[in-house]
Structure 1
Amino acid sequence: MRSLVIGASGGIGGAIARLLFGRGEVFLAARRMEKAPPGAVRLEVTDELEVHAFFQSLPPLDLLVYAVGAVERSPLRDLPRSAFETVLGANLTGAYLVLKHARFTPGGRGVFLGAYPGYVRVPGFAAYAAAKAGLEALLDVARKEFRREGVHLILVRLPAVATGLWTPLGGPPKGALSPEEAASRLLSEALKDPPPEVVEI
């Protein structure tokens, strides 16, 4: 199996990468190289030229995991446009550019991390809620288009996971999953046959 993890410097992405080692050829990409595993390359997912060049350097993939994310907690009237765009860039625009330029083998799978709408559509999380809703809609349409190529796109709805994403928010909520548990359950479900369209953990 030939796999790529984008967002390998994050808690969930790093845990997924560790689980994939020894299961074929694994490529890793990250933006924060100081936290990235050995062998990762730097990738800015909102830069289309960079994303295009990156995928041109890779062979077709059997598995792609998009584990990039950003969150900002702020009332809508106080939310800076720059923060709104950062959250959409990581969660939605980057996913669009990756889907646009990724190359898959027939039967390949693309896995994207979503969220339970009821958990994120709460005051203070307008940008994150909008980005995750947009991701679901993007995948709904892309799934129909990619089907003719034999590519399966999978949305994984995750509960709270204890990663650095929660640091600016005061830490993860009580009962949050560990990154290792989330990664194990995610991969177990996403690699089932036939491939699911939506996985809820």
Structure 2
Amino acid sequence: MPLPARLEFVSRSESDPARRPGWLAGLALAAVGAAAGYGIHSLVPAIPWLTASLVLGVLVGCVPAFRPALGGVFRPGLAIASLRLLRLGIVVLGLGLSLGDIAALGWVAILSIVALVIVSFLLTLLIGRMFRLEGDQPLLLAAGFSICGVSAVGAMAAARGSNEKDTATPVTLVTLYGTLAIVVLPLLASILRLDTQQFGHWAGASVHDVG
């Protein structure tokens, strides 16, 4: 006896994996990547959690054997993670800053920071184009070095729809220079005999990474 149309549809929907929510697998993979990044951060606290997670994601995306799955069953969930959840995370990160603390810096400091971000963004973008970097690489490098490191690269790449090839080089360079800054700047501060406040201003104005 044939099933009624509605019951037949429900039965097929429940038994056919292709009809199940396609975003669950991708979100689960993103959660695994975030957990792995946190594990790396726990082992090496100098490496920010967000940086470790994004670098792992880029490395996995660069492996040819993984690309069919990443572009197939995992794609819907990864799209949600890389667009909506990433943007939400950046908003939450920004909410962690107290407006009172920002206002306490004074207008001179605030305008100086804005000018520094704009100048560094434009200069990095210009240098990237002078070296004839392909695709979105100059823009992603400018975002990473002038704003907040790998998280800015990820946000800009998501907004632009950049591919893995364009994202890999900016993430690598931003991570490399951010890691070097952790080692080099304290040594230079000692050589230059900077006090704690001077070193804090210098590091805050020059180190692009967060997390």
Report the TM range for the smaller structure's normalisation: under 0.3
TM-score for both structures, normalised by structure 1: 0.28
Rg larger in structure: 2
TM-score for both structures, normalised by structure 2: 0.27
Relative to total residues, which structure has the larger strand share, 1 or 2? Answer: 1
